[in-house]
């Protein structure tokens, strides 16, 4: 990869521990401190007059600042009422009895009544072990089940509806030559003809397969692992009878069509490595299986028509609430006894007798993003599992989110490079920096306790709890594109306390401003705050269209939170155009345009990253003609003391970066080449190369930091144009 063009004289190293006590005004934002720590001298190869020469910027530069409105944190209800509501919902009371508790929807998963007709124990066991491993886009989290509990639930589910005979499904008029099925045996289908029917009926319009297709219906990948031909034939003949949405399959199929299409679906979507067929079903005590399903929260999302109880009006007197719960002390009407502890019953009675204050109160609230985040305190005794704040605990159920977050820059916020800068610093200064890099008070305490132990596990950056937990209350946005109130699954068999879901909190771009927007009195150079991302966004077309930070960086709840380090993500934000024309006199006119079409802020938005446009001529064999090499920077660069802006050639919000030059064409030149290289860690790369701390521990951490960013630059665009017709 081509480096910065030209040579650079030796630059004196930065040694010792950086002191910031002479910069008290800069303590207003911790990121500013990091920026000043990292400011570096400019070498000859980085001459700002060269890097910015010939560059034109078209678009509005927002220089003002708008203080973001930070949504406020809802005040939790009394612990017993909130916990009681969660238990009533988790145990299925709200769905079974049509109990309209505030803030909780009725079950939204598929019904369980006929599940034993549709699938089998082997697939159910595979699914309950980890739904996201089978179907990465699954909405169902992984519930922590022991082997015994999972076996009981699998046996119970596999038996539901299985004893009912598979009645022949009504079908349309038989096609000529069709033979009706004999008895209850499903007819044998022609998979080849079924494949043609699959394409002719345009099934992919609603069902995805292999990553392509619609999303209206369920994905068909590995369908053969889950269902058999007999159920498919029944479902295609009478969708509503088998639990499919009425009207989802509006066509009428003959017996032969159904048999052929079913044969194709089962064979086509049945890859090797299916479920373990040795899974056994134990039907000796189905009540145990249903009880296990109850206590592990299955009825929080899934209902059963067979066990619908009488509708219960709410609120009621405490005496009536106690009577209702007492009815489930023993098996009743197909329902097993509920194994409730005394504190759980007390909380549920309090919730049933409550007059109905909304779950989310707006009175006397505190700021959600007061940094550092105050210590969580003790969780409710009903939900001891909530004491665990580390990401691995969240990932036991929220598998996909943990996997995505682990690849994000947020996960790496407590990096070796940061730790190297904090060696020997005062606790007050460390806390200033960590209030954004590890925002929980518990994380900061842990970081300060690491001392000189390089083997100790440090806090996990900006983790799940940093955005989602306050005082052991859990906050989330609900399901993407809906207003559902999300109630997460169990951790170690016990609910972690439920989730408040104020949409205005998590869907607002201001949610990100505590760490990604300097305050109004922060450092401003040339009339622009050093970090001004939110204000840039406010004046963008994206903001006018209702697109927020989350719309681009967290689409559909993607927790990778992609940014400048992600090549594909950046490519979607920039349009690249090159124009080369003969200018006569053995020269050519080169025009380069970079258009900001996808970012609601300047690109790059902060001082740490840079784009380099590199131009050179090459000969017929691809050799670089060194005299033609030139580089232009797309970045905001500061002076060594951080007090002067040397240049700002970033692509403006909704604007264009343009460079034009007439290049002389040498005799050997055959091609003009334009590369756009992204160095997301440019600022730190130069800093880490020159810093030589005196402490051995800081030097060790610094070596790790250098290795961590060694391969982060990448080529974003490359264009080669022939400049001559000579061979």
Range from 54-58, 467-471, 495-499, 653-657 carrying the lowest mean pLDDT:
495-499
The string of pLDDT tens digits covering residues 534-561 is: 889 988 999 989 999 999 999 988 999 9
The pLDDT value recorded for residue 449 is 81
Range from 11-25, 121-135, 369-383, 520-534 carrying the lowest mean pLDDT:
11-25
The pLDDT value recorded for residue 105 is 53
Which residue in the block uniquely carries the two structure tokens 């300060």? 448
Question: Around Cβ 622, how many Cβ atoms within 10 Å?
Answer: 10
The pLDDT value recorded for residue 239 is 81
User: Is beta strand 473-475 parallel, antiparallel or unpaired with respect to 636-638?
Assistant: unpaired
In Å, how far are 389, 422, 446, 473 from 441, measured between CA atoms? Answer: 12, 17, 9, 16
Cα separation, 635 vs 629, in Å, equals 20
Cα separation, 331 vs 47, in Å, equals 81
Does residue 480 carry a pLDDT above 60? no
524 confidence band (pLDDT: 50, 70, 90): confident
Range from 104-118, 143-157, 338-352, 520-534 carrying the lowest mean pLDDT:
104-118
The pLDDT value recorded for residue 453 is 58
> Quick one: which of 102, 136, 41 has its CA closest to 557?
136
Who wins on pLDDT, 530 or 28?
530
Average pLDDT rounded to a whole number, residues 332-356: 79
476: CB partners within 8 A, 6+ apart: 468, 486, 488, 499, 500, 501, 506
Q: What is the DSSP string of 364-429?
A: EEEETT-SSBPP--PPPGGGGGGG--SHHHHHTT-HHHHHHHHTSTTTTSS-HHHHHHHTT--HHH
Instruction: Tell me how many degrees the CA angle 456-460-461 measures, rounded to the nearest 5.
Output: 125
Instruction: Tell me how many degrees the CA angle 611-598-5 measures, rounded to the nearest 5.
Output: 10
Cα separation, 575 vs 716, in Å, equals 11
Arithmetic mean of pLDDT over the chain: 77
The pLDDT value recorded for residue 720 is 95
Task: Supply 49's token pair.
Answer: 């007059």
Average pLDDT rounded to a whole number, residues 477-483: 48
**Burial (Cβ within 10 Å: 0-12, 13-18, ≥19) of residue 47:** middle
The pLDDT value recorded for residue 715 is 96
Average pLDDT rounded to a whole number, residues 642-651: 86
Average pLDDT rounded to a whole number, residues 404-411: 93
Q: What is the DSSP string of 594-663?
A: EEE-S-SS-BS-SSS-EEEEEEEEE-TTS-EEEEEEEEEEESEEE-TTSSSEEEE-PBPEEEEEEEEEEE
The pLDDT value recorded for residue 180 is 47
Residue 541, phi then psi, degrees to nearest 5? -65, -30
Residue 610 β-bridge partners:
679
Who wins on pLDDT, 22 or 203?
203
The pLDDT value recorded for residue 21 is 32
Who wins on pLDDT, 679 or 55?
679
Task: Supply 500's token pair.
Answer: 């408040």
Who wins on pLDDT, 724 or 338?
338
The pLDDT value recorded for residue 291 is 85
Cα separation, 243 vs 220, in Å, equals 17
Who wins on pLDDT, 391 or 135?
391
Average pLDDT rounded to a whole number, residues 299-312: 80
The string of pLDDT tens digits covering residues 228-283 is: 888 888 888 888 777 777 667 777 889 999 999 999 998 888 888 888 888 888 87
Average pLDDT rounded to a whole number, residues 108-132: 86
Residue 56 β-bridge partners:
658
Task: Supply 38's token pair.
Answer: 């990292």
User: Is beta strand 624-634 parallel, antiparallel or unpaired with respect to 610-618?
Assistant: antiparallel
> Quick one: which of 509, 503, 502 has its CA closest to 551?
509
Does residue 498 carry a pLDDT above 80? no
591 confidence band (pLDDT: 50, 70, 90): very high
The pLDDT value recorded for residue 232 is 87
Contact 144, 292 (CB under 8 A): no
Does residue 375 carry a pLDDT above 70? yes
Cα separation, 509 vs 41, in Å, equals 35
Does residue 175 carry a pLDDT above 60? no
Who wins on pLDDT, 487 or 533?
533
The pLDDT value recorded for residue 78 is 61
Read off the DSSP letter of residue 479.
S
Asked whether the bond before 315 is cis by omega within 30 degrees of 0, the reply is yes
Does residue 481 carry a pLDDT above 70? no
565 confidence band (pLDDT: 50, 70, 90): very high
Contact 387, 379 (CB under 8 A): yes
The pLDDT value recorded for residue 346 is 85
Q: What is the DSSP string of 47-87?
A: -HHHHTTTEEEEEE------PPPPPEEEEPPPHHHHHHHHH
The pLDDT value recorded for residue 271 is 83
Task: Supply 372's token pair.
Answer: 């550092």
Average pLDDT rounded to a whole number, residues 357-384: 63
Does residue 616 carry a pLDDT above 90? yes
The pLDDT value recorded for residue 642 is 64
Average pLDDT rounded to a whole number, residues 87-114: 74
SS3 content of the chain, % helix, strand, coil (to 5): 35, 15, 50
Asked whether the bond before 604 is cis by omega within 30 degrees of 0, the reply is yes
The string of pLDDT tens digits covering residues 416-469 is: 988 888 888 888 888 888 888 999 999 888 888 876 555 455 678 899 999 988
Read off the DSSP letter of residue 203.
G
Residue 598, phi then psi, degrees to nearest 5? -135, -5
3-state DSSP call for residue 669? coil
The pLDDT value recorded for residue 462 is 93
The string of pLDDT tens digits covering residues 183-200 is: 455 678 899 999 999 998
Q: What domains sit in the chain, N to C, each tagged with a CATH number?
A: 14-66+566-722 (2.60.40.3230), 108-173+183-302 (no CATH), 361-507 (no CATH)
Average pLDDT rounded to a whole number, residues 318-333: 83
User: What pTM, to 2 d.p., does this model score?
Assistant: 0.68
Taking the alpha carbons at both ends of the chain, their separation in whole angstroms is 27
Among residues of the chain, what percentage have pLDDT more than 90?
A: 24
Cα separation, 391 vs 414, in Å, equals 14
**Burial (Cβ within 10 Å: 0-12, 13-18, ≥19) of residue 694:** exposed
Average pLDDT rounded to a whole number, residues 116-131: 89
């Amino acid at each position: 990869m081509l480096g910065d063009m030209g040579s650079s004289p030796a630059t004196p190293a930065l040694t010792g521990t950086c002191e910031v006590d002479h910069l008290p005004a800069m303590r207003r934002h911790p990121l500013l401190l990091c920026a000043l720590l990292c400011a570096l001298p400019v070498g000859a190869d980085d001459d700002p007059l060269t890097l910015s020469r010939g560059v034109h910027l078209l678009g509005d530069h927002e220089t003002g600042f708008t203080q973001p409105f930070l949504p406020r944190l809802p005040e939790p209800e009394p612990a017993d009422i909130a916990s009681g509501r969660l238990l009533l919902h988790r145990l299925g009371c709200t769905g079974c009895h049509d109990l309209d508790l505030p803030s909780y929807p009725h079950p939204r998963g598929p019904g369980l009544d006929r599940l034993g007709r549709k699938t089998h124990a082997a697939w159910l066991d595979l699914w309950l072990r980890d739904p996201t491993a089978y179907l990465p886009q699954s909405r169902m989290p992984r519930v922590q089940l022991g082997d015994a509990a999972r076996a009981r639930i699998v046996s119970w589910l596999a038996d539901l509806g299985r004893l009912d005979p598979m009645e022949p499904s009504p079908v349309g008029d038989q096609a000529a030559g069709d033979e009706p099925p004999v008895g209850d045996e499903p007819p044998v289908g022609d998979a080849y003809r079924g494949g043609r029917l699959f394409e002719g009926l345009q099934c992919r319009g609603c069902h995805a397969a292999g990553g392509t297709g619609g999303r209206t219906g369920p994905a068909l990948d590995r369908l053969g692992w889950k269902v058999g031909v007999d159920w498919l034939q029944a479902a295609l003949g009478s969708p509503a009878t088998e639990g499919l949405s009425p009207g989802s399959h509006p066509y009428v199929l003959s017996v032969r069509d159904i048999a052929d299409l079913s044969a194709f679906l089962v064979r086509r979507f049945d890859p090797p490595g299916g479920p373990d067929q040795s899974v056994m079903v134990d039907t000796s005590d189905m009540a145990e299986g249903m009880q296990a399903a109850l206590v592990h929260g299955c009825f929080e999302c899934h209902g059963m028509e067979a066990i619908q109880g009488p509708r219960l009006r709410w609120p009621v007197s405490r005496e009536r609430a106690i009577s209702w719960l007492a009815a489930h002390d023993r098996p009743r009407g197909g329902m097993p006894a509920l194994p409730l502890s005394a504190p759980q019953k007390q909380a549920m009675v309090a919730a049933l007798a409550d007059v109905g204050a909304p779950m989310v109160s707006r009175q006397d609230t505190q700021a959600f993003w007061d940094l550092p985040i105050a210590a969580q305190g003790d969780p409710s005794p009903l939900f001891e599992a909530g004491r665990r704040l580390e990401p691995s605990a969240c990932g036991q159920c929220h598998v996909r989110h943990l996997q995505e977050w682990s690849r994000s820059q947020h996960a790496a916020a407590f990096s070796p490079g940061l730790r190297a800068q904090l060696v020997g610093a005062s606790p007050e200064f460390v806390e200033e920096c960590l209030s954004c890099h590890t925002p929980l008070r518990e994380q900061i305490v842990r970081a300060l306790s690491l001392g000189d132990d390089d083997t100790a596990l440090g806090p996990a950056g900006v983790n799940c709890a940093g955005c989602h937990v306050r005082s052991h209350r859990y906050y989330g946005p609900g399901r993407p594109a809906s207003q559902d109130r999300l109630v997460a699954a169990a951790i170690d068999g016990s609910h972690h306390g439920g989730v408040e879901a104020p949409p205005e909190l998590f869907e607002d771009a201001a949610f990100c401003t505590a760490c990604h927007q300097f305050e109004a009195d922060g450092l401003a150079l040339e009339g622009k705050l050093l970090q001004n991302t939110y204000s840039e966004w406010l004046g963008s077309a994206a903001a006018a269209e209702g697109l927020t930070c989350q719309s681009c960086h967290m689409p559909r709840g993607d927790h990778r939170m992609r940014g400048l380090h992600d090549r594909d993500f950046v490519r979607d934000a920039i349009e690249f155009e090159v124009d080369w024309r003969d200018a006569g006199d053995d020269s050519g006119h080169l025009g380069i345009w970079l258009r900001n079409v996808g970012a609601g802020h300047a690109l790059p938005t902060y001082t740490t990253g840079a784009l380099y446009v590199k131009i050179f001529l090459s000969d017929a064999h691809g050799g670089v003609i060194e005299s033609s090499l030139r580089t232009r920077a797309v970045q905001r660069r500061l002076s060594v003391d951080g007090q002067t802006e040397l240049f700002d050639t970033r692509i403006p919000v909704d604007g264009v970066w343009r460079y034009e030059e007439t290049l002389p064409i040498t005799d050997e030149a055959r091609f003009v080449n334009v590369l756009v290289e992204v160095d997301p860690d440019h600022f730190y790369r130069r800093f880490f190369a020159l810093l030589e701390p005196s402490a051995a521990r800081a030097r060790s951490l610094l070596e790790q930091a250098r290795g961590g960013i060694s391969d982060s630059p990448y080529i974003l665009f490359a264009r080669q144009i022939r400049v001559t017709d000579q061979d």
